[in-house]
């Protein structure tokens, strides 16, 4: 299937071509026509499937078709600033030949610039829930003209404690507004929200099998005190560049990064205690191969979009299968091959057991010569 067959506006088609996209991904093939039909949509799809474009393209197309209407007509809610920035970049790229204005609204930075941009006029707002609520309460933002609302990574909103803000925002959206929810998993709370807020939605499911099929998964059984040494060995022997290492805590991430640097492997920690500016610099360094290893916590890593990330390492085992799937979904994107390695110590056996029961692919037990 081609993008042309999806009846996409020629200006957007031109931008997609310039971006080098030749074919829509499975989620795009389903979500673009669903959204263009005007119906509500519930899509379960993970990062790495092309989900951002799957809602950004029809959002731009629908809004550019309605001439003469004013005010904020499109709203994309995301759980993290990083994700909001990525959505904004996507909208700018696909919409570069259209004249829609989009504005980013997120916390952790002064309001003034965002307020001024909104006052100058915005067709689309991309926002994290807390700052959006603040600006609504200050009457800087009104949702009364909203035509389309996209809730991205709904399950993360729940995990990060934003669900109340999201509910408040949804209550302010006019009834006829088209609503699109995306979520990697659909836990009960999201199911409830769907039942209350979406009108007979078109349901789309892109199964994890499809996204993890090209990811090789391996596990090292290793004592906790040997994990540091194993990490250095694995990075060195496989000559890994661009490795994303997951740590359980911010403090742990700092320690791992410091330890790698001591051994001559360039690394930076990426977590919520770092300022927005520092996080962006860290990400830029990693993308430009200035740093080789990014050591991230789950929450901070949620918004990271890195094309072609070849290696993910779970320094500590994730607590849930969903977290595991999210973590390893950082590699093997858009059809590229990827390797996900997990370090499992004695106390983490239970997590591995449940992964082996329900995980989407096979996790191969590996042995490293250094451990003999």
Is 205 a residue that touches ligand AMP (CB under 6 A)? no
Is 155 a residue that touches ligand AMP (CB under 6 A)? no
Cα–Cα separations (whole angstroms), residue 177 to 73, 87, 145, 146, 174: 9, 20, 9, 6, 6
DSSP string for 136-182: HHTTS---TT--EEEE-SHHHHHHTT-HHHHHHHHHTS-TT-EEEEE
Applying CB under 6 A, which of residues 307, 346, 362, 369 lies at the interface with ligand AMP?
A: 307
Nearer to ligand AMP, 28 or 339 (CB): 28
Nearer to ligand AMP, 91 or 317 (CB): 91
Applying CB under 6 A, which of residues 13, 40, 44, 50 lies at the interface with ligand AMP?
A: 50
Span near ligand AMP by CB under 6 A; candidates 17-25, 154-162, 241-249, 258-266: 17-25
Is 30 a residue that touches ligand AMP (CB under 6 A)? no
Least distance CB 155 / ligand AMP (angstroms): 15
DSSP string for 83-143: HHHHHHHHHHHHTTTS---EEEE-SSS-SHHHHHHHHH--SEEEE-HHHHHHHHHTTS---
Do residues 367 and 220 touch, judged by C-beta distance below 8 A? yes
Number of Cα atoms under 13 Å in the Cβ half of residue 9 = 19
Q: Give the Cα separation of 54 and 209 in Å (integer).
A: 19
Least distance CB 332 / ligand AMP (angstroms): 11
Nearer to ligand AMP, 82 or 348 (CB): 82
Q: Give the Cα separation of 27 and 43 in Å (integer).
A: 8
Least distance CB 292 / ligand AMP (angstroms): 20
Stretch 316-335: interaction string toward ligand AMP, x if CB under 6 A = -----------------xx-
Least distance CB 92 / ligand AMP (angstroms): 13
Applying CB under 6 A, which of residues 8, 32, 41, 53 lies at the interface with ligand AMP?
A: 53
Q: How far is CA 67 from the centre of its chain?
A: 31
Q: To the nearest 10°, the Cα dihedral for 349, 353, 354, 359? A: 120
Stretch 333-362: interaction string toward ligand AMP, x if CB under 6 A = xx----------------------------
Do residues 183 and 150 touch, judged by C-beta distance below 8 A? no
Do residues 351 and 322 touch, judged by C-beta distance below 8 A? no
Q: Give the Cα separation of 200 and 193 in Å (integer).
A: 13
Nearer to ligand AMP, 65 or 307 (CB): 307
Q: Which of residues 210-269 bind ligand AMP (CB under 6 A)?
A: none
Applying CB under 6 A, which of residues 6, 13, 24, 31 lies at the interface with ligand AMP?
A: 24
Number of residues forming the site for ligand AMP (CB under 6 A): 16
Q: Give the Cα separation of 344 and 356 in Å (integer).
A: 13
Nearer to ligand AMP, 148 or 257 (CB): 148
Is 159 a residue that touches ligand AMP (CB under 6 A)? no
Residues interacting with ligand AMP, by CB under 6 A?
21, 23-25, 28, 47-53, 305, 307, 333-334
């Amino acid at each position: 299937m081609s993008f042309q067959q999806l009846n996409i506006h020629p200006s957007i088609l031109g931008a997609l071509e310039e971006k080098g996209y030749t074919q829509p991904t499975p989620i795009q093939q389903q979500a673009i026509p669903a959204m263009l039909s005007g119906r509500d949509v519930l899509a379960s799809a993970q990062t790495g499937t092309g989900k951002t474009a799957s809602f950004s393209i029809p959002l731009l197309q629908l809004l550019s078709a309605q001439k003469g209407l004013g005010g904020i007509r499109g709203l994309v809610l995301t759980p993290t600033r990083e994700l909001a920035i990525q959505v904004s970049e996507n909208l700018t790229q696909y919409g570069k030949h259209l004249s829609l204005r989009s504005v980013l609204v997120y916390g952790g930075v002064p309001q003034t610039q965002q307020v001024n941009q909104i006052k100058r006029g915005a067709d689309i707002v991309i926002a994290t829930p807390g700052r959006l609520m603040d600006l609504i309460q200050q009457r800087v933002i009104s949702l009364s003209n909203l035509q389309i609302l996209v809730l991205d990574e709904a399950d993360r909103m729940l995990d990060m404690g934003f669900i109340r803000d999201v509910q408040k925002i949804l209550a302010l959206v006019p009834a006829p507004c088209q609503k699109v929810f995306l979520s990697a998993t659909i836990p009960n709370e999201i199911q409830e929200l769907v039942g209350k807020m979406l009108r007979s939605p078109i349901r789309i499911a892109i199964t994890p099998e499809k996204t993890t099929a090209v990811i090789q998964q391996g596990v090292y059984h290793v004592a906790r005190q040997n994990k540091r040494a194993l990490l250095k060995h694995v990075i060195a022997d496989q000559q890994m560049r661009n490795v994303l290492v997951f740590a359980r805590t911010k403090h742990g991430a700092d320690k791992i990064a410091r330890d790698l640097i001591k051994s001559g492997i360039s690394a930076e920690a990426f977590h919520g205690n770092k300022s927005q500016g520092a996080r962006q610099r860290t990400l830029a360094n990693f993308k430009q191969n200035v740093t080789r290893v990014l050591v991230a916590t789950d929450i901070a890593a949620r918004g990271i979009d890195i094309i072609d990330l070849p290696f993910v390492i779970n320094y500590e085992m994730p607590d849930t299968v969903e977290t595991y799937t999210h973590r390893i979904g950082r590699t093997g994107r858009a059809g590229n091959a990827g390797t996900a390695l997990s370090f499992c110590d004695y106390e983490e056996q239970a997590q591995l057991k449940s992964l082996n029961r329900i995980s989407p692919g096979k996790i191969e037990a590996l042995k490293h010569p250094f451990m003999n």
